[in-house]
Structure 1
Amino acid sequence: MAQTVVMPQAGNTVESCILVSWNVAVGDSVEASTVLCEAETDKSTIDVESGVSGTVLALLAEEGDEVPVKAPIILIGNADENAEAALKELGIEPQTTGEAGEVDESSEDPLTPEADEAATTSEPVAPEAAERPAPVAGAPASPRARGRASHEGIDLDSVSGTGPHGRIIEQDVVAAAASGRGASAAVKASGEYRPGEVQGTGLGGRVRRSDLEGAAEPAAACPAATGRDYPGATTQTPLKGVRKLIADRMRNALETSAQLSYTTSANAAALLALRARFKNSDPALGYSAITIGDLVCFATVKTLASHSVLNAHLEGGTLTEFAAVHLGLAVDTPRGLLVPTIRNASAMGIRELSATTKDLASQAIGGKIDPELLSGATFTVSNLGAFGIESFAPIINVPQTGILGVNTISPRATTDAEGNVVVEQRIGFSLTADHQVVDGADAARFLRDLVAAIENIDLTVIG
């Protein structure tokens, strides 16, 4: 009997995965250990194994599709089985699938290879075309779905959930917004709005009253370009995969938190001196590979111990403060920004913290890091000092309440105790905190204590 293989849930916080590439085709024979496809979670890649033996009867998703976890992605059975009949028996609408190796060309078939090229050039279509379950009042919703619904002005009781057990996930809210429920209340009440007829200019593409009024006015004549081509050569690249997920999360972070940044600097003399001692020490002692970044992370962890409001999560109006520090570390990788979590960083010494940091960064850059290690951080550090950045305002990785930006070390003029002008090396810090729960004085006190820890880093390390 034919069976479906579903998209696995690689981590408790993963709601959907991007199907990156198929390793099999219709008609192929597979074993339980066969890797069917490669998929991307939030920021990592996973291999999806078959788990069953048989013949591939149908592929139920395309490369590039964002597939909810536990949703069917492939049908496997006996070579002589009819795929359409098998799908009907399993309760899956078979409108796009025929027998193994056959395709119904009369429908818009997401399973056809010919659709690949069109899919990469056409505008994204809201998943309203697919049959969706009826909305259930009071259905559970993920934090990202709640944040998106608040932004779009959509009542979650009107949204159909397609996640596990009917849970409402973010893409369900996106579908609801695309169907016209993302228009403003005034536009909906006017009775003049027809979904798809007017391009919205409000937040998130929401249609406003002025958009309806503007649609009735003739477009102003555009003067012809003279002398040279306008606008010249361009390249359009639709956001997809991990890049799209990063874009959605960054926007969601700014929409659902009150972010405010604070900057300061510390005398880096002690930091540079200790780093030089470590670098020149006997490698057998395990200190020679410790970097400036490791020392800053260590000092940050120690400082957070007395500033729990910054070592916290804010979700659904509830602030959860953590006793242990689980430090997120922003890592630049070929597929985009990844933030692996150094679990229980507050229980580590400087050597263990340094070794763990390098191991996680290597896994992240290689793209094979456990998705569980890309979530659960209670505070994040983003270090752009190596790029010469003197100041920036990092974006909080919600639901965290703070993130520390580490800037470059640069010479600054100052005066010594005798009033003489001298030059000292100073390292800059940029703290972004959620002003919903972190007052300005709280942020200032954290930075004050961090500066003290950095300027006395030798005592911080042994203390």
Structure 2
Amino acid sequence: MVRDLVMPKLGLTMTEGVLAEWRVLPGQPFKTGDVLVVVETDKIASEVEADSDGVLIETTIPAGETVAVGTLIARWSADGSGAAPAPADGAAPPTVGTPAPPAKSGTTAGTRSGPPPAPVRDGERVLSTPLARRRAQALGVDLTTVTGSGPRGRIKMADVEAAAQRQASAPAAMPEPIRTPAADPIATPAGGRSKPSATQATIARRLTAAKRDVPHFYLAAEAEVSELMALRERLNADAEPGLPRISMTHLVLAAVGRALAATPDMDRVWDDATPGGEILSLGQGDIGMAVDTPRGLVAPVLRGGAHLPLDQLAREAAALTERARNGRLTGEDLQGGAITVSNAGMHNVTFMSSIINPGQSSILGVGSVRSVFRPDESGAPVLKRELGLVLSADHRLFDGVAALAFLNRIIAGLERPLRLLRAP
């Protein structure tokens, strides 16, 4: 029996996704757990696995297209009935989708009856709806010059019509100035070139947009963590069954959570969805945590982290980390929160200035613990163990005074760690 494969809903807020890559071609068999297709949303690139054995009969949507949730994207069957032969090694994959309908009477042979192809800007496909492409063709609007208002900058018909109005009312164009010749393209190195994975491309696009669009400022300070490290050693020496191991990341998350609960104004984000922007107060105490995975760096969100006791925080953070490294995160795992903790202390770095995750308003970069001598009140050298911290903050929401007060609360929690054992 032939069955349908539809665009899955990978999160509560997901309405559409990009078919980033087909891993199985028509005619090829697959096993339970094999990755059929990679779906990219504005938060994550997810691998969609087969829940049973079968053979892919046809794909109805090509890679690179944006598709609404629930849309038919392929057909398959358990026994392969109706499937086309699998392509030979090295052969080009079969054309995806259904054939174009015959041209209507009066049209020139070979004219496309569907929407024009998506244009390319700086080597990347310009995201636009089929209706927007048709309208742009009719109005003579160059889509590479239009800024989209849809998800991930996707161009809608309204954007095209607004561009056409601006184009009609604009004064006559001046002669184009002489341009400096573009730099020679980078020669291919001996090691060759390779395409980024869907996850790497998603991370690159989102962080580039965040660095470009969010006005970052940075505050750096050290926390004296001798007591903190001694407390961690004592907690982990308790071998009672069921108690989680406590890491430095867990302690920093707890300190950030306590500071967030005490300064709820830091639990806000800037939303560009409406003209002029809006400030959203979240109030949930969610905290992102950067996790290094084989697929790249991701930042799942610890729900209600500001209100969790230390042991529970450690358990939930460990479970979230395991899901991230096994590639089991959902779109919902990556949504929400105003701040992320990025701990690079295990990699021998003193300070780290991090890029704010898209949709958030701050990120705390955590360095390595350093042993340094500092003078005491009488000027005598005293050995200290210091942790370097850098808070990156969104200047649209916070000024230096407010962000520094928040950072100092985090430092106070780390330097007086018994506070972290009390109920938040």
Structure 2 SS opposite 1:283: coil
Q: Match of 1:323, as an amino acid? A: G
Size of the aligned set, in residue pairs, is 373
Q: Which has the higher helix share?
A: 1
Q: Match of 1:154, as an amino acid? A: T
Structure 1 residue corresponding to 2:178, chosen from 208, 213, 216: 213
Normalising by structure 1, we get a TM-score of 0.67
Structure 1 residue 337 corresponds to structure 2 residue 297: yes
Structure 2 residue corresponding to 1:245, chosen from 202, 206, 226: 202
Provide the C-alpha distance between the structure 2 equivalents of 1:269 and 1:372, rounded to a whole number of angstroms: 37
Could you tell me which residue of structure 2 aligns to residue 434 of structure 1? Answer: 394
- Aligned pairs for 1:349-360 within 5 A: 349-360=309-320
Q: Which moves more between the two structures, 413-422 or 125-134?
A: 125-134
Q: Match of 2:60, as an amino acid? A: L
- Aligned pairs for 1:47-446 within 5 A: 47=48, 57-62=57-62, 65=64, 67-70=66-69, 71-75=71-75, 94-95=98-99, 126=126, 154=147, 156=149, 168-170=150-152, 172-173=154-155, 213-214=178-179, 233-284=190-241, 286-287=243-244, 289-316=245-272, 317-446=277-406
Note closer, same or farther for the CA distance 1:334–1:94 as it changes in structure 2 (3 Å cut): same
Contact 1:11 1:371 in 2 (8 A): yes
Normalising by structure 2, we get a TM-score of 0.73
Q: Match of 2:404, as an amino acid? A: A
Could you tell me which residue of structure 2 aligns to residue 45 of structure 1? Answer: 46
Provide the C-alpha distance between the structure 2 equivalents of 1:59 and 1:107, rounded to a whole number of angstroms: 24
Q: Match of 2:396, as an amino acid? A: Q
Note closer, same or farther for the CA distance 1:271–1:46 as it changes in structure 2 (3 Å cut): same
Q: After superposition, give the CA deviation of every residue in 1:251-279 in whole Å (9 maximum; x if it has no partner).
A: 11122221111100111111111011112
Note closer, same or farther for the CA distance 1:124–1:65 as it changes in structure 2 (3 Å cut): same
Could you tell me which residue of structure 1 aligns to residue 6 of structure 2? Answer: 6
Q: CA RMSD for the aligned pairs?
A: 4.5
Note closer, same or farther for the CA distance 1:248–1:308 as it changes in structure 2 (3 Å cut): same
Contact 1:328 1:381 in 2 (8 A): yes
Contact 2:128 2:156 in 1 (8 A): no
Alpha-carbon deviation of 1:34?
A: 9.6
Could you tell me which residue of structure 2 aligns to residue 197 of structure 1? Answer: none
Note closer, same or farther for the CA distance 1:80–1:305 as it changes in structure 2 (3 Å cut): closer
Structure 2 SS opposite 1:282: coil
Contact 2:288 2:340 in 1 (8 A): yes
Alpha-carbon deviation of 1:432?
A: 0.6
Provide the C-alpha distance between the structure 2 equivalents of 1:416 and 1:34, rounded to a whole number of angstroms: 61
Q: Match of 2:67, as an amino acid? A: P
Provide the C-alpha distance between the structure 2 equivalents of 1:237 and 1:23, rounded to a whole number of angstroms: 20
Contact 1:7 1:17 in 2 (8 A): no
Note closer, same or farther for the CA distance 1:410–1:54 as it changes in structure 2 (3 Å cut): closer
Provide the C-alpha distance between the structure 2 equivalents of 1:107 and 1:134, rounded to a whole number of angstroms: 13
Provide the C-alpha distance between the structure 1 equivalents of 2:314 and 2:129, rounded to a whole number of angstroms: 51
Note closer, same or farther for the CA distance 1:66–1:362 as it changes in structure 2 (3 Å cut): farther
Q: After superposition, give the CA deviation of every residue in 1:356-409 in whole Å (9 maximum; x if it has no partner).
A: 111111110111223311212232110011111111211111321111111111
Q: Match of 1:436, as an amino acid? A: R
Contact 2:289 2:301 in 1 (8 A): yes
Provide the C-alpha distance between the structure 1 equivalents of 2:421 and 2:316, rounded to a whole number of angstroms: 17
Provide the C-alpha distance between the structure 1 equivalents of 2:33 and 2:233, rounded to a whole number of angstroms: 50
Note closer, same or farther for the CA distance 1:276–1:321 as it changes in structure 2 (3 Å cut): same
Note closer, same or farther for the CA distance 1:56–1:325 as it changes in structure 2 (3 Å cut): same
Structure 2 SS opposite 1:405: strand
Provide the C-alpha distance between the structure 1 equivalents of 2:396 and 2:6, rounded to a whole number of angstroms: 40
Provide the C-alpha distance between the structure 2 equivalents of 1:34 and 1:131, rounded to a whole number of angstroms: 37
Structure 1's unaligned 5+ residue stretches are 83-91, 99-105, 109-122, 137-148, 157-167, 194-208, 223-229
Provide the C-alpha distance between the structure 2 equivalents of 1:10 and 1:428, rounded to a whole number of angstroms: 37
Note closer, same or farther for the CA distance 1:307–1:134 as it changes in structure 2 (3 Å cut): farther
Provide the C-alpha distance between the structure 1 equivalents of 2:126 and 2:387, rounded to a whole number of angstroms: 48
Alpha-carbon deviation of 1:39?
A: 2.2
Alpha-carbon deviation of 1:416?
A: 1.4
Note closer, same or farther for the CA distance 1:55–1:424 as it changes in structure 2 (3 Å cut): closer
Provide the C-alpha distance between the structure 1 equivalents of 2:33 and 2:412, rounded to a whole number of angstroms: 55
Note closer, same or farther for the CA distance 1:412–1:132 as it changes in structure 2 (3 Å cut): same
Alpha-carbon deviation of 1:24?
A: 5.8
Alpha-carbon deviation of 1:76?
A: 5.9
Provide the C-alpha distance between the structure 2 equivalents of 1:307 and 1:26, rounded to a whole number of angstroms: 58
Q: Match of 2:233, as an amino acid? A: A
Contact 1:329 1:339 in 2 (8 A): yes
Provide the C-alpha distance between the structure 1 equivalents of 2:68 and 2:327, rounded to a whole number of angstroms: 20
Note closer, same or farther for the CA distance 1:271–1:97 as it changes in structure 2 (3 Å cut): farther
Provide the C-alpha distance between the structure 2 equivalents of 1:36 and 1:421, rounded to a whole number of angstroms: 59
